[in-house]
Structure 1
Amino acid sequence: MIKMLAFVLIGISSIASATDVVSIPRVTPYEGGVGTDDVRQKCDWNAKLSENIAHFAEGGATVTDTDVSRLSGKVLTMRITQVHAIGGGGLTGPKWAAVHGELHDGSKLVGSFDAHQHTSVGLTTCGSLNHLGKELGEDIADWLKTPTLDAKL
């Protein structure tokens, strides 16, 4: 009887945690006028950002190709608000990026953030941006554990 109760409780716990999983669109769009054409066309770090968040969230987030306006539950939408990435990798100085995100639970805004990272790591511009995407992904995943409004990451 105790084993049966334990299995039931584990099942209920799994169902409850599944509803807490945050859905994230696969690609994070650039805000109008942000990023050069080269960065937008050649670097896919903005598609890897969601994957990085899901990885660091350890099951607390999932990447989706579904139109998030059709989803119920928790949804994180983001946009890239700044990117400074001059060609030449580390030889052309530091690179940085900023992302704005909003976490909705249904129609209710339950969290928002502005995240910023900079780096001198990377032999190429895209490599530097990939590094920034990992750093931002880890910061955002940590924030998802206890989201707040107007957080600065």
Structure 2
Amino acid sequence: MKKMWVFALVGISSIASATDVVSIPRVTPYADGVGTDDVRTKCDWNSKLSENIARSAQVGVSVTDMDASHISGKVLTMKITQVHAIAGGNVTGYKWAEVHGELHDGGKLVGSFVAHQHTMAAWTACGSLDRLGKELGEDIADWLKDPTLDAKL
């Protein structure tokens, strides 16, 4: 009888933890008119952003190829709203990126943010964006611990 209760409790905790998982589409799209053609075609940082969040998160995150509109439960959708990346390291000045995100739970908006990071590191535009994607991923993962509306990260 004792074993049955243990299995029942484990099953309940597994169900509870599964509902706490946040699904994130694998690729973060650019807003219309954001980024040069070179940045959009040669740099893949927007395909790595969700993985950076999942790697840094202390909550359950599932990176998915599914269309966000077909996912039930918690879903974080994001869009790149600004990007400025020119090769040349600190010689060409700051590089920056901004991401807008919304967290929905069962279709209801439960959190939103604008995350902005800048750097002068890396000699290539794509290298700068990779670094920015890691920093943004950490910031967004921290926000997921206690999401709020209209957060500035």
- Short-chain TM bin: over 0.9
Aligned-partner residue type, residue 62 of structure 1: S
> Aligned partners of 2:57, 2:4: CA distance in 1, in Å?
30
Cα deviation, residue 57, structure 1? 1.2
* Partner residue in 1 for 2:99: 99
TM-score (norm 1): 0.93
Q: Which runs of 5+ in 2 are unaligned?
A: none
Give 1:65-104 correspondences, 5 Å limit.
65-104=65-104
Give 1:135-150 correspondences, 5 Å limit.
135-150=135-150
Q: Are 2:123 and 1:109 aligned?
A: no
Cα deviation, residue 11, structure 1? 2.6
* Partner residue in 2 for 1:48: 48
* Cα RMSD after superposing both structures: 1.4
* Partner residue in 2 for 1:130: 130
Cα deviation, residue 88, structure 1? 2.5
Q: Match of 2:24, SS?
A: strand
Aligned-partner residue type, residue 149 of structure 1: L
> Aligned partners of 1:6, 1:120: CA distance in 2, in Å?
54
Cα deviation, residue 10, structure 1? 2.7
> Aligned partners of 1:142, 1:48: CA distance in 2, in Å?
17
* Partner residue in 2 for 1:31: 31
Aligned-partner residue type, residue 32 of structure 2: G
Cα deviation, residue 64, structure 1? 0.5
Cα deviation, residue 91, structure 1? 2.9
Measured at CA, do residues 114 and 13 of structure 1 come closer, stay the same or move farther in structure 2, by a change above 3 Å?
same
Aligned-partner residue type, residue 33 of structure 1: G
Aligned-partner residue type, residue 106 of structure 1: G
Decide whether the 8 Å contact of 2:122 with 2:128 is kept in 1: yes
Cα deviation, residue 58, structure 1? 4.2
> Aligned partners of 1:40, 1:126: CA distance in 2, in Å?
10
Q: Match of 1:137, SS?
A: helix
* Partner residue in 2 for 1:118: 118
Q: Are 2:8 and 1:8 aligned?
A: yes
TM-score (norm 2): 0.93
> Aligned partners of 1:72, 1:10: CA distance in 2, in Å?
23
Cα deviation, residue 3, structure 1? 5.3
> Aligned partners of 1:3, 1:54: CA distance in 2, in Å?
34
Cα deviation, residue 60, structure 1? 1.4
> Aligned partners of 1:56, 1:45: CA distance in 2, in Å?
16
Q: Which runs of 5+ in 1 are unaligned?
A: none
